[in-house]
Structure 1
Amino acid sequence: MKLTKYTHACVALEKDGSRIVLDPGTFTPDAKAAVTGAAAVLITHEHFDHFDDTLLAAALDDDPELRVFGPRAVLDRLGDQGGRVRALAAEDTFSVADFTVSVHGGRHARIHADIPGVDNLGYLIDEALFHPGDSYFVPEVSVDILLLPTSGPWTKLGEAAEYLRAVKPHQVIQIHELMLSDLGQASTRTLLAGLTGIEVTLLAPGESVDL
């Protein structure tokens, strides 16, 4: 499986000639290129930096084979599209484009008491790679590769360290990094490694890695 990192929370996964994309939002300038030709798009939650409904509505019109999965808010905003848009919930499992997916979590991490919470789903792909969306939810399954959010109004470095200790992944790849400078990303990586003994891989937008 090959992972390609896009700006912020968006990644694409490729295997056996098929590709799925997770969280192409408005903070990802090349989201359209990421989605074009994909078999499916998985959305963790409705916030605009993870879910660009205008982009996905156009993509569904352009590609009759494209499928979109996400929490109920995604279905509400895109419509059923003849069954090609599906609402998910925690503990759901399904297969798409030769990938197996299990759904975990349920709610976005708390930002502030005055900001309403939303549903947030984490996706475990092929029983190996976990994208938690905007949450430090610890799935009750083994995680080999963890995509770790490192910046945003809800993130805390101490909580990220405890999250790594709880999940115990073998490999960590940074996502959700846009609000950190290059120095901030490097500093976060160093501190997390010192606290947990787990190295965090930093990928530039457009960079790929074989997993």
Structure 2
Amino acid sequence: MKITKYLHSCLLLEHENERLLFDPGSFSFANGEVNAAELPDIDYLVITHDHPDHLYGPAIRTIIASHQPEIIGNQEVADRLQRDAIEVTVFDEGKRQFGAFQLEALPVAHQPILSEKVPTVTAFLINGTILNPGDSFSDDLLRFKGCELLFCPIMAPFLKEVEAFEFMKRMEPKAVFAVHDGYAKPYFVEARQKNYRAYLEELGIGFHGLVEMGESITI
């Protein structure tokens, strides 16, 4: 499977000639580095939760106009996009097959934030091997302990790097893929990634830190 990062938490997964895009949020498109109209053909668009840095209406409308993907998200995501007359396949929990992608959905708590409204996060296990926990470090995710690859937030207003590292240790993935780092300039992102990598390598856990828009790995 090929995984391409389009800044922050916007990730494109390619498998068996099909493409699934996670969380096209505002931070990915804010500086014009990513153009939603120029993304590759997308079959499925999956949104983990209703926060602007994961769900950005203008980009989603552009993607729909270009590719007409199936939109997948929880009920809160569906309610949000219904305001824009965008149809969503509601998927809150359980397993479903979407073309070449098997998704296992699990509702989990968002990490604590300074807000009156805290959205429900839907974590997704992809093809039994890759876990996208959204913005959650919930112990409920331990059911996926030992996954091949963990998409893990490494920076956020709600996050301390010690907490993120402790979550990585609890999950015991074969490797970590750094996300949620669109808040900072590249030199700072690289410094944070270097620190995580050093400590994870001591535990025998691999680390993938992509900084440039459109960088990819294949697993």
Q: TM-score, normalised by structure 2?
A: 0.84
- 8 A Cα contact 2:37 2:62, kept in partner: no
- Superposition deviation, residue 81 in structure 1: 10
Distance in 1, matches of 2:35 and 2:95, equals 25
Aligned twin of 1:140: 143
The one-letter code matched in structure 2 to 1:172 is V
Task: Kindly indicate whether residue 186 of structure 2 is the aligned counterpart of residue 179 of structure 1.
Answer: no
Aligned twin of 1:127: 128
Task: Kindly indicate whether residue 187 of structure 2 is the aligned counterpart of residue 210 of structure 1.
Answer: no
- Superposition deviation, residue 27 in structure 1: 1.2
The one-letter code matched in structure 1 to 2:97 is S
String of CA shifts for 1:42-76, please: whole Å, max 9, x gaps: 00111111101233244335544x21111212211
Q: 1:55 to 1:83 in 2, by over 3 A?
A: closer
Distance in 1, matches of 2:100 and 2:5, equals 20
Structure 2, unmatched stretches of 5+, are: none
Task: Kindly indicate whether residue 60 of structure 2 is the aligned counterpart of residue 56 of structure 1.
Answer: yes
Q: 2:112 aligns with which of 110, 113, 116?
A: 110
Amino-acid identity (%): 25
Aligned twin of 1:149: 153
Q: How many residues align?
A: 208
Q: How does 1:31-46 map to 2 (within 5 A)?
A: 32-33=36-37, 37-46=41-50
Runs (4+) of structure 1 exceeding 6 A deviation are: 80-83
Task: Kindly indicate whether residue 1 of structure 2 is the aligned counterpart of residue 4 of structure 1.
Answer: no
String of CA shifts for 1:71-120, please: whole Å, max 9, x gaps: 2122113239999512222x3211112110001242211013x4421111
- 8 A Cα contact 2:174 2:206, kept in partner: no
- Superposition deviation, residue 121 in structure 1: 1.0
Distance in 1, matches of 2:47 and 2:35, equals 13
Q: 2:207 aligns with which of 191, 200, 207?
A: 200
Distance in 2, matches of 1:181 and 1:39, equals 31
Q: 1:87 aligns with which of 87, 90, 105?
A: 90
String of CA shifts for 1:157-194, please: whole Å, max 9, x gaps: 11111101111111111111112333433332343344
The one-letter code matched in structure 1 to 2:103 is V
Distance in 2, matches of 1:98 and 1:193, equals 31
Q: Aligned with 2:45: secondary structure? A: strand
The one-letter code matched in structure 2 to 1:76 is D
Q: 2:173 aligns with which of 169, 176, 186?
A: 169
- 8 A Cα contact 1:12 1:34, kept in partner: no
- 8 A Cα contact 1:21 1:34, kept in partner: no
Q: 1:76 aligns with which of 73, 79, 94?
A: 79
- 8 A Cα contact 1:131 1:146, kept in partner: yes
Q: Aligned with 1:117: secondary structure? A: coil
Distance in 2, matches of 1:62 and 1:118, equals 28
Structure 1, unmatched stretches of 5+, are: none
The one-letter code matched in structure 1 to 2:76 is A
Aligned twin of 1:67: 70
- 8 A Cα contact 1:40 1:68, kept in partner: yes
